[in-house]
Every structure is written in structure tokens, then in C-alpha cells.
Amino acid sequence: MKILYIIPLAMMLSCCSSVKNQSTTSNEKLDTQLLKDVEVLSSDAYQGRKTGTKGAEMARAYIIARFQKLGLKSYPQHVNYAQEFTFNSRNSAKVNGTNIIGYIPGKGNNAIVVSAHYDHLGVVKDEVYNGADDNASGTAGLLKIAAYFAKNKPNNTIIFAAFDAEEMGLQGAKAFVGNPPVPINTIAIDLNMDMISHSDKGELYVCGTFKYPDLKKYVDTTKTNIKLLFGHDDPKQGHDDWTNQSDQGAFNAKNIPFLYFGVEDHKDYHKPTDEYSTITKQFFSNAASAVLDVVKSIDKQTGLQQLLKDKMIMMDNPRKSEKF
């Protein structure tokens, strides 16, 4: 049983959460900021980041502080990056959620959404479900990508969306696509990360190319330090089809192209043992870098939406009525 304790946020944002020197089996360097973000967000102090709890509030404060430090802009309708929404839980109780939305303006009107949910399961029977892989890892990956584009101006506007209430049915992502900060027909693609830090086999799946095969060319599968695998997106796979099993599902429902990055379920999935000490740190550093490379490759395209419209083989429900 874990002991619950609270550490002041200011201290968590300081050096107290610095990542210790870690040995690796290769000459590759670990991304210390990436690991620090996971270590902080998945600490017991954040109490599992369940939607509507003090832990979730602390997580938002941490993400907002990182957005501010990186210089991300906030949309006028979102005070201090916060997109608030409400929904009914499974027992019909009203729940308040908050997405954290920042952006870096590009050179045109097209927008790329980079997303990850920051919520998890909270405290269950006095045990903290820290959710280091699910999904402090994706949130840290989002912050890494934001840090890159904060220093390297993108061609397309990039929206960084840290979604709330994914564990309660993709509620944050649904609220976002239901009331987006930009016209929805200017959103070219969603690039979503959910569980990218725990793989003993060094495998990161890229889901979405079954429906949008032309996206394969933006994914470099020749990397030697990580296995990037296509799959888990064929409707015939049933439960193994991940298309709608994380926040990209809300974008897919609007027929917005997507790529989802994630690992297969592991022994710590949705268990109290999904904590910082059990993630695969070198794999995580490699995985986050691989996702960044995909975002960079996609962002190089100008007229991105027209390109997707002309070249995608859309297997069902193309956005015929929308103007690109």
C-alpha cells in the first residue's frame, strides 16, 4: 500500500525531481527533461491525476507552467490555456473537466493537433494508480515536441492539446472537437500519444495508416534504435483495433486523419505498478524522439490538407462536405 503525501508544487517544479544518472546498454543519451516530466506527473503527490481531483489540478498547474516557460500561446477563449467542459459520468453524475490547450502559430491556416491525455485513474482502495506510462509518458512527449517547435517555427500551426477525462470515455477530446479553438475544417491531422514509455521488446505501434495509407511515408521505420510497427487499426481486428480506443477516436469520428502512437498492453497497464520505476527509460527516450521526427516530417508539407485530400485513400466517410 502506498502512502499518500503532498509535496508543494513549487518544489515539484524545482530540482527535487531531477532524474538521477542512469546506465544504459547503448551509447544513446536519455532525455532528462522528458524523464523528469514523467517522474513528476506520476509521483504519489499527484494522486493518480483522476479527473476532478486535487491531483488533476496539480497536473494542470505543472503542464501550464511548462507551456508558459516554453512560450506557447493561449487562445483568447481559453483563459490561461484552460478549456473547461462538463459531462455526465456513467452513474449520471455531473463531472467537470479541463483540457490544457496551447499553440505555436505557423505560416498558414492549416493546423496540426499534437495530443495526449494527462488524466489517469486516481486512488483506488488506498493505492495510487500513478499512470506513468498511461499517460504521463504521452504528456511528456507532447512537452518535448512543443519544446522543439518553440525554437523551430513550424510551417503549420501546431496545437498542443493535453486532454482530460480520457479514462472516462475520451471526454476531453470530444469536448475539443465539439468546440475547437479554430475552424474544424482547418485541422489537417491529429497526432496522438498514449502509452509510449513501456516496452521490453522496443516496439512502438503507429495506428491509423489502414484508413490513411498515404501517411506511411511520413513514418521512418528504418530506425535501428526502435521498432516502429504499423497495425492495430484494421476494423476486422475487433478489440485489437485501437482506432477509437484513445483520444484520436474523437477526431476519427469527425473524419479527421490521425496517427496514434502507443505500445501494447503490458503487465502494469491499469495497475498501481504503472509507475516511474517500471517504465523502459531508453525505449521511452527513443520513442518520443521518433514521434517528434514524424511530426517534423508531416509539418514540412505545405498545403497539408489539400495534400491529404488528394492523396489519401479514405476507406469510408470522406469529408466530402468540408472545404480544405
Could you please report the per-residue DSSP string of 211-261?
A: T-GGGGGGS-TT-SSSEEEE-S--GGGGGG--TTSSTHHHHHTTT--EEEE
**Lowest model confidence (mean pLDDT) among 8-12, 72-76, 206-210, 308-312:** 8-12
Sequence-separated (6 or more) residues with CB below 8 Å from residue 171: 51, 85, 87, 95, 97, 164, 165
Cell of 138: 504521452
Cell of 5: 503525501
pTM, rounded to two decimals: 0.88
CB contact at 8 A, 299 and 148:
no
Sequence-separated (6 or more) residues with CB below 8 Å from residue 104: 72, 73, 146, 149, 150, 153, 154, 157, 158, 160
3-class secondary-structure state, position 129: strand
In the prediction, which pLDDT does 22 show? 38
| H-only helix segments in the chain | 9-12, 32-41, 54-70, 137-151, 171-178, 248-252, 281-299, 304-311
CA-to-CA distance for 1 and 128, rounded, in angstroms? 8
CA-to-CA distance for 122 and 130, rounded, in angstroms? 7
Instruction: Give me the residue label for grid cell 483495433.
Output: 241
Sequence-separated (6 or more) residues with CB below 8 Å from residue 236: none
pLDDT at position 13 over 90: no
CB contact at 8 A, 202 and 226:
yes
**Lowest model confidence (mean pLDDT) among 83-92, 201-210, 283-292, 308-317:** 308-317
Confidence of residue 308 (pLDDT cuts 50, 70, 90): low
Q: Cis link prior to 135 (omega < 30° from 0)? A: yes
CA-to-CA distance for 171 and 164, rounded, in angstroms? 7
pLDDT at position 221 over 60: yes
In the prediction, which pLDDT does 10 show? 43
In the prediction, which pLDDT does 209 show? 96
Sequence-separated (6 or more) residues with CB below 8 Å from residue 5: 44, 45
CA-to-CA distance for 198 and 284, rounded, in angstroms? 7
CB contact at 8 A, 117 and 250:
no
Which is more confident, 20 or 117?
Answer: 117
| Nearest CA among 57, 198, 202, 84 for reference residue 140 | 198
| Nearest CA among 134, 269, 270 for reference residue 193 | 134
Q: Share the mean pLDDT of the chain.
A: 88
Which tens digits make up the pLDDT trace of 156-187?
Answer: 999 999 999 999 999 999 999 999 999 999 99
Confidence of residue 90 (pLDDT cuts 50, 70, 90): confident
Cα-to-chain-centroid distance, residue 129: 18
Strands 157-163 and 258-262: unpaired
Cell of 157: 500551426
Confidence of residue 139 (pLDDT cuts 50, 70, 90): very high
